């Protein structure tokens, strides 16, 4: 990564090099949480006049949470949007691809959130939607203590960065999901082995017994299997 003092303007050549290095760094496979933290840290580095970045993601059931942020103010600002149910980042996720707020002192679009954000020292914001195929997966949220911090050039850079970030986070989520599936299968296999040894039954019979027990107890097969492997006892 090219060294660049915070707040110093990037030349076009520096910026191209920085974006290229950033894309390569985001493409490196890593654990999900490390990937998400890298996204917000790199975004703060590449966007001039940016004082904090957060990552909002849509979870199961449509819930929205902030799994990573580069500053406490960025995190607290997200919490203020959840509390009030309004704000530029939520709009970016639900209605618009990019939302710019030049100065909270003058912008009255989200009054309840605006009051809380000003207390946090936030003056301007830029939110860019993250995509997984055609669906919204969340937003990348950039905060600044300065008014008018994000010009047209910053918006283009943020949109390019958000594209790379979407790909990186989606890949990390997929890998994490596969690892969960593999782990679940491994636990179920261990539980089947215990049942086969204790009851002297075949693998198919052991799984049917495990499934029947899970229905009787109204407990997911995976959780029941984990209980059996941890205790060594059959319910």
Convert the pLDDT of each residue in 85-143 to its tens digit. 999 999 999 888 899 999 999 999 999 999 999 999 999 999 999 987 778 889 999 99
Q: What is the pLDDT of residues 169-183, one digit of tens each?
A: 888 887 766 544 445
Q: What is the C-alpha separation between 136 and 162, in angstroms, rounded?
A: 12
Q: Which CATH number fits domain 178-231: 2.60.120.1140, 1.10.10.10, 3.40.50.850, 1.10.1060.10?
A: 1.10.10.10
Q: What is the C-alpha separation between 204 and 187, in angstroms, rounded?
A: 16
E-strand spans in the chain?
A: 52-58, 64-69, 98-101, 124-132, 135-144
Query: Which CATH fold topology does 12-176 show?
Result: Beta-Lactamase (3.30.450)
Read off the pLDDT band of 219 (50, 70, 90).
confident
Q: What is the C-alpha separation between 79 and 113, in angstroms, rounded?
A: 10
Average pLDDT over every residue of 211-231: 82
CATH 3.30.450.40 location in the chain = 12-176
């Amino acid at each position: 990564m090219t060294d660049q003092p915070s707040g110093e303007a990037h030349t076009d050549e520096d910026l191209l090099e920085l974006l290229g290095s950033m894309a390569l760094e985001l493409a490196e496979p890593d654990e999900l949480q490390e990937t998400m933290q890298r996204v917000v840290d790199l975004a703060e580095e590449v966007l001039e006049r940016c004082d904090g970045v957060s990552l909002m993601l849509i979870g199961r059931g449509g819930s929205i949470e902030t799994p990573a942020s580069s500053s406490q103010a960025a995190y607290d600002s997200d919490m203020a949007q959840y509390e009030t149910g309004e704000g530029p980042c939520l709009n970016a996720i639900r209605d618009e691809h990019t939302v710019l707020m030049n100065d909270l002192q003058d912008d009255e679009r989200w009054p309840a959130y605006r009051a809380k954000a000003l207390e946090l020292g936030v003056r301007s914001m830029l939110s860019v939607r993250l995509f997984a195929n055609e669906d919204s997966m969340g937003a990348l949220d950039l905060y600044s203590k300065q008014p008018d911090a994000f010009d047209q050039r910053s918006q283009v850079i943020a949109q390019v960065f958000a594209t790379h970030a979407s790909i990186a986070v989606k890949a990390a989520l997929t890998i994490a999901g596969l690892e969960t599936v593999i782990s679940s299968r491994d636990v179920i296999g261990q539980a089947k082995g215990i049942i086969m040894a204790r009851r002297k039954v075949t693998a198919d019979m052991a799984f049917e017994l495990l499934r029947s027990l899970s229905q009787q107890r109204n407990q997911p097969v995976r959780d029941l299997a984990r209980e059996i492997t941890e205790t060594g006892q059959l319910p």
